[in-house]
Amino acid sequence: MLCMNVGGSNLPLAQKMLELMEARKEGRGAGLSAAVLIGGELVAACAAGKRGEDGSPAEIGDLYNVGSVSKVYCAAAVMKLVDQGLVELDAPVVRYLPRFVMRDARYKDITVRMTLNHASGLPGSNYRKAVADHWAGDHVMEENYAYWAQSKLKADPGRFSVYCNEGFELAAAIVETVTGRRFIDFLRESVTTPAGAPSTGEAEVAIGTSRMMSCVGQKPEWLTAIGAGAIRTTPADCARFGYLFLHPNGILSEESLRELRRPQGATFLKKDVQSPLYGLGWDNVEDKNASVDLGEHVLGKGGGTGQFSSYLLVCPQYDLAAAISGTHDCGTNNTQLLYDLVALALRERGIETARAPESEQPPCTAVDDAFFAQHSGVYYSSSQALRPTLRDGKLVFTRYAGNGAWEDHTAIEPLELCGAELRGEHTRAFFEETEQNEYLFVSLRHFLSPLAQRPKTRFTLTEGWKKRLGKRYLACNMAASDAFAPNAPSCVVEELDGVLLFGIPGEAYAADIVRACGDDDTDMFLDAPFMGSRDQCTPQAFTEGGIEYLRCGATVYIDAGCVPVLASGTVRSECAECNALYRTKAGMRVRFDKPEHVATYLLGSDLRLLYCDLKPGEWPETMPDGYLIFANDAPMEFDVTVEA
């Protein structure tokens, strides 16, 4: 049986690309696929590795979840409606979505443009049930409206751009409401099929003869964030879609093309040169690579899901579009790999793209006590708190790990002074002050952007929240199939210098970071553009039936002190996503035969996740002191036997 792992008009080039991909992959993981179009022609496509679910060889027609590359598809769909006179970019979202409400009056000021350039001020991401091992998106829009109704904004709409998945969910809702059709149906009929990209889809397992890729030993993942991250396609068709941004061929107007390709981001920081380069959907409309020079106005968009890493780039200078996607277990840097593949393709045409090395930097010097004193303190980003320390003349950043502990930040290397900046072997950093905050800029991945901020005034912690410090909560509305739920099954309320942290215990401690607003509510204060204040929420405390709960985004947590001790009997819940929660004692032996639509979570006494059906691991013979959660996709009833 013939395996189609190379294709295009230049098969020798495709073979060379395949060899480079296999060298980077080093035999790891499942599948990796890429494609390059030049002058509208598919010159090379290749697929390395195997399909994760059954081990069969990867082919160039396999489908990959391209994650946030989907945002560019969403922007194109909206601009198609703009071309048709059905949507105005600078009209308020509520004109098209009267059902859209928030517990923040500023939501009425969000425009359609702001949903696409990350400037809406929306919290960021509703990850609840965003990824599963089957389609779980039949009610996603209804659930989004309910989530927004409980949410606040992080800033005035339009003030600054920070990465925001929710904006594209709003944009997709506009497409569906205005057209009266499913988003994907409108996109395929009006944009991707005319662009020659028929494999574009969302919920389909197979389109024609295409097969869905997945990590080794895992089922294919299904995404429900239809505007922000749910597109499935082949890399060749992704590149064909990208080529639309060079030659729209009547699919989009030239005016819409100019809107999509120009800088659209907003910032209030003088040193922030990254946020303004957001396009409509695009991460960067002046994408640069350290080693490969593709000229000016390169469009770049990355995408990551639970299993995939993808990148799409469009290069006007060489009339080129290219795309790559691969499973995470391949261990490859797919952005760099795609640039290297494009360089290889252009070298075949006699074009050298190697970027000249940077000019030599002035020598670094030790960080002195005065510099350290000027910039010391706690800096906060969307999920972590950072604190610089001074060690042997270098600035070393630590991160808060929960329960009063700090640990070295592994993503930021020790830094020395180098002129007006801080530098390490691979890292640059500097600070910028405003009246309210000091902002830390750090180069992570290939972006140099605001990472965190230090408030100059201490926030006041109200009595209501003071009483909850150290209190523990357990998630009680998880879906059994929700692949993101294991990331946040518990929550502990902590405080640093008046700042509230709703922390998730675990190896990689993360927290919602907010300030108190009364005794039971919170407000966001983080406003670092680009990525530094993404994915926030405003936790609320409320009481039902004498039991206290927390609502953090779309997840509801119950006071762990109210959970009963597990005993033999029947586990019962009459509603989907109404979880059954119990306390376990050390030495208990627990046996049960649960339905397939129920997932088991076992947490230790410190609320760290010890076992979950959705992650590799073995059910322990005896229980620890801790907690047991049965998450359910449907009503459940089954027996459990407990032996002391």
Q: Is the model's pTM score more than 0.85?
A: yes
Mean pLDDT value of segment 523-548: 97
As a whole number of Å, the CA-based R_g of the chain is: 25
137 pLDDT tier (thresholds 50, 70, 90): confident
Alpha carbons 610 and 603: distance in angstroms, whole number: 5
Mean pLDDT value of segment 356-368: 86
- Give strand pairing partners of 417: 365, 422
Alpha carbons 559 and 366: distance in angstroms, whole number: 48
Of 199-203, 263-267, 411-415, 486-490, the range with the lowest mean pLDDT is 199-203
361 pLDDT tier (thresholds 50, 70, 90): confident
644 pLDDT tier (thresholds 50, 70, 90): confident
Mean pLDDT value of segment 119-129: 94
- Helix axes of 165-179 and 70-83: crossing angle, nearest 10 degrees: 40
615 pLDDT tier (thresholds 50, 70, 90): confident
Residue 208: pLDDT over 70: no
Residue pointed to by tokens 């007006």: 420
Alpha carbons 50 and 47: distance in angstroms, whole number: 9
DSSP three-state, residue 396: strand
Of 100-114, 228-242, 352-366, 383-397, the range with the lowest mean pLDDT is 352-366
Query: Dihedral of CA 471/476/481/484: which sign?
Result: negative
pLDDT in tens, 370-401: 999 999 999 999 899 999 999 999 999 999 99
Tell the burial category of 290 from Cβ atoms under 10 Å away from its Cβ (0-12, 13-18, 19+): exposed
Look at strands 379-380 and 41-49 and give their pairing.
Answer: unpaired
Mean pLDDT value of segment 468-477: 98
Cβ(554)–Cβ(409) under 8 Å? no
DSSP three-state, residue 613: coil
Alpha carbons 192 and 232: distance in angstroms, whole number: 12
Which residues are within 8 A (CB) of 507 and not within 5 positions of it... i.e. 6 or more apart?
Answer: 608
Mean pLDDT value of segment 344-350: 97
pLDDT in tens, 449-465: 999 999 999 999 999 99
Cβ(214)–Cβ(221) under 8 Å? yes
- Give strand pairing partners of 477: none
Which residue in 348, 352, 300, 347 sits closest to 324, CA to CA? 300
Question: Which residues in 275-316 belong to E strands, given as ranges?
Answer: 299-304, 308-315
Residue 347: pLDDT over 90: yes
Average pLDDT for the chain: 95
Alpha carbons 82 and 116: distance in angstroms, whole number: 13
Residue 88: pLDDT over 60: yes
pLDDT in tens, 569-580: 999 999 999 999
Residue pointed to by tokens 């904006």: 167
**Region of 374 on the Ramachandran plot (φ > 0 left; ψ -120 to 50 alpha; else beta):** alpha
Residue 2: pLDDT over 60: no
Choice between 563 and 218, residue whose per-residue pLDDT is larger: 563
CA angle 394, 400, 406 (to 5 degrees): 60
Cβ(422)–Cβ(440) under 8 Å? no
Mean pLDDT value of segment 205-224: 82
364 pLDDT tier (thresholds 50, 70, 90): very high
pLDDT in tens, 279-318: 999 999 999 999 999 999 999 999 999 999 999 999 999 9
Residue 468: pLDDT over 80: yes
Question: Which residues in 22-141 belong to E strands, given as ranges?
Answer: 31-38, 41-49, 64-65, 131-132
pLDDT at residue number 134: 82
pLDDT at residue number 1: 37
Mean pLDDT value of segment 46-67: 95
- Give strand pairing partners of 396: 389
Alpha carbons 234 and 640: distance in angstroms, whole number: 46
pLDDT at residue number 133: 82
Mean pLDDT value of segment 533-545: 97
